[in-house]
Structure 1
Amino acid sequence: EAKLVNDADQISFILELKKMADTGAKGPEKWLPVVLKRLKTNTGKKIAQSVMETHWDEWWMNDYSE
């Protein structure tokens, strides 16, 4: 249970860093490898891999239309 809570916290941080990286901020590329190494569960690692392979707003823009 503690491992899941840890991974949830780290994934939240990864999401923030990924958004920053995708929008041109400097610095996330230094932190992302460190935070990714903190993940403890296979599920957490799979979620993080999916986050890293997806542009931060892709989920929103896929179904967006005006």
Structure 2
Amino acid sequence: MEIAQIIDRIGVVELSKRLGCTKQCVSHWRTGRNRIPAEYAVKIEEVSLGIIKRYELRPDLWELNIQKSASNG
């Protein structure tokens, strides 16, 4: 699932309240205008109940951790 789908399900206003950010931030993430900050990627994973993963939102930040986990498994 992509961030736009989560935002559409929850709603811009409700998601901004749950995350503690502005509606404008959420709208910009939805359109791809701005990249989701790492701390919000974690919160979005929590708000979506794990449906969307932080590494899906910001693979540039968590890709190395996923590779390490896979090699340790």
TM superposition score normalised by structure 2: 0.24
Higher relative contact order (CA 8 A, sep 6+): 1
TM superposition score normalised by structure 1: 0.25
